[in-house]
Structures are given as C-alpha cells and as structure tokens.
A and B are shown apart, each in its own frame.
Chain A
Amino acid sequence: MRGETNCEWSNIWIALEDKGITNYMEIEQHEIIITIGSLTLKGRLDGQTAPQLREMWQLYESRGVNNVVLNMQSVDFLDSVGISTLVAGMKQFRARGGDLRLVGLQSSARSIFELMMLDKVFELFDSEEQALKGF
C-alpha cells in the first residue's frame, strides 16, 4: 500500500504530510465474511402465515445463518401472532450473536410496534442497504 491512497484516505494522508510526521502508512485489512439471510415478505403476516416464517427461522438455524434482513415493505397487515414470530426469530438470532433487522415497516404496523414498545427492541431500517451496513 506504500504511496497509494484512495479518496477516502487522502485527507488524512495530506494532514500527515503537513505535519511532517511521515509519508508512509500501512493498512492492515481484515475481512470478515458473514452470511446474511435476506427475506422479503408480502401480504399479511398473521396467525395464518406466521408458521411459514417460523419454518424459515428453523431453516436458518440448521444452516447456521444468524443474521437476517427482513423486508416488510409489502406487509400490509400484522397481528399478534406475527409479532410473536418476529420476536421469536430475533431472540433466536441474537442468542447466537446475530440479529434480525426489519426494513420498511408500514406506518400502521409501525404504530403497533410503538404501542408494544418493540421499536426499542428491534432495529428498524428504511432500506435494505442501511440494514446490511452494520452487520
């Protein structure tokens, strides 16, 4: 990496040069590869459909996937059984060091989340890109 910078680092590089400390820098790079499950739900997440989601949690568990991004932009109805299933999934993944992140809750579902104080439990994101960032 000697003598090379990318634009993200260039400001620091100049600052270092200005101080006359060094023009040499070493960057050690670590790569952490994690598997992220990505799911998109459409329609209703209620007592009827929630068992399918529970099956997905089991599938993820058997494959060792503990980080999941769940896109809920197209979920237009969420009931207590749906909420229980989300909490169960979140607990399962967090117990193994991962997380369940929810993307794009519609305003009605969001208000139910706030009522249940679940907006303080789950990490809620506006887009999948944002949700993927912190893993």
Chain B
Amino acid sequence: MPQPPEIQQVSYLQLQLKAWNWSQVMTGTRLEVTIPARLEFLTFLCAVVREYCAGLPHLLPALEAKAGLASDPKRVATGSLGQPGVTKPGYSHFVYSTELILQEATLNIIRHGYNPSAEGQTVALQVGISWFPDPETPFGRRGFVIELTDSAPRFDPTQVNLSDPDPLEPRESGYGVYLIHKLTDGLDYRYEGGNQLRMVKYLDSFRG
C-alpha cells in the first residue's frame, strides 16, 4: 500500500440532501445522514451513494474552479471519466470503483462501527478535489478526496492486516476492506473525536 499522498489543497463542495439535484450544489454544508431504525434506509443510502458517484464527473468543473485548478481539455476530449450521470451498464470503471469504495466504507461504518445498532447515529460524507505532487509527472496528479466521518468506536482500516485472497481457499468474508485498499490511490485515517477516513482516487487512476 503506497503512503497516502499529502493533500495540498482541497476544495470542498457539499451537497444538501433535501435538494438532491446536481444543479443545486451547495457550499459550506456537508451531506450528513442520520441513520433511522429501519435498515431499508440502507437501500436509500446506496441510492444516494450511487447518484453521488455518478455525479462526480458532473461536479468536476465546479470543484476544479473552486480549487483554482484549470480544467484539463484533454481529459474532457478523451472522456476518461466516462459519460457523466450514466449509471447503467457501460458506465466507467472509474465511477464503478469510486462507488464501490464509498459503499464499502459506508456500510462498514453502519454494520460494524455502529454495531449492534446504528439507529440515530450519523455518517457524514464530503467530496473534494485536490492536486497531488507526483515525481513522474511535472504537473502532478488530480484526484477526488472522499471523506467519511462517523462517531463509532475507533476503527482504523489502514491498520487492518490484509492477506491476498487465495484462489485455492476462497474466503467468504473480508472482501470489503481489501477492496478499499486495492481500489484507492491513497488512504488516510485520523481520529479526532470521531473516525475520519480520507480516500483518494486519482482521476487517471489505474486502480480498478
């Protein structure tokens, strides 16, 4: 696992849950969800996560402007992020793997962090874009920074001892954290009154 890159400059744009519309991107608030008793809520949360991820390419220009980064015309031309908003078959590996790490991390918090009951607890999600220095490219690399905050007991997924899956003895659990490690370009954990997990996904990520 590579060391998490140092975050140089992060610009956060957050989304207001009530006005769930990409044209209404809000600043200064973050998506904070209170977990209700009935776990049908998970279905809802998954839908939110899915929309969020599918909308990331849409958000990109606004986030870049906010962070003072010029848009990269080459990327738009090649469409490396896939078609914005397309959630059906054919949507890009980038969106798929971003959705997957977000869902795995969120469900981990709800199922394990808040075990036995997640009722009334909160999970906060915010996404930003940042520039990361990279010795191999003179202009560095850009990536999404996805941050999840929760008040469950301390759990540091970067310290989980991961063994590679064995094709001869396939296991039935433990894929979630493994996927997060494999599909992110950087993983950073802090505990400041709650769990704070930052996951970095480069826009030109080769992972997933």
Contact = CB atoms under 8 A, between A and B. Distances in A.
Interface of A: 44, 46-48, 74, 76-77, 79-81, 83-84, 87-88, 90-91, 106-108, 111-112, 115-118, 120-121
Contact of A79 (B87, B89, B100): B100
B203 interface: no
Given A106-B89, A111-B93, A117-B164, A80 B208 contact: no
A79 B208 CA distance: 13
Interface string B90-108: 0101001101100110010
Contacts of B91: 76, 108
Nearest to A106: B89
Interface in B168-196: 170-173, 175-176, 178-179, 182-183
Contacts of A87: 170-172
Interface of B: 42-43, 46, 50, 87-89, 91, 93, 96-97, 99-100, 103-104, 107, 111, 164-167, 170-173, 175-176, 178-179, 182-183, 208
A112 B42 contact: no
Nearest to A108: B96
Nearest to B164: A117
A135 B43 CA distance: 37
B170 A91 contact: yes
Contacts of B171: 87
Contact of A76 (B88, B182, B183): B88
A56 B150 CA distance: 35
Contacts of A91: 170, 172
A112 B179 contact: yes
Grouping DSSP codes into helix (H, G, I), strand (E, B) and loop, the A interface class, with mixed when no group exceeds half, is helix
A6 to B, nearest CB: 41
Contacts of A90: 170
Contact of B46 (A48, A88, A106, A120): A48
A116 B89 CA distance: 21
Contact of B167 (A81, A106, A120): A120
Nearest to B111: A47
21 contacts: A46-B46, A74-B89, A76-B87, A77-B100, A79-B103, A83-B175, A84-B172, A84-B173, A87-B172, A106-B89, A107-B93, A108-B96, A108-B97, A112-B100, A115-B179, A116-B165, A116-B178, A117-B164, A117-B165, A118-B167, A121-B170
A117 B50 CA distance: 25
Q: Closest 5 CB pairs between A and B?
A: A80-B175, A120-B167, A108-B96, A80-B176, A121-B170
A106 B97 CA distance: 13
B170 A44 contact: no
Contacts of A107: 93
B46 A84 contact: no
A95 to B, nearest CB: 13
B84 to A, nearest CB: 17
A121 B167 contact: yes
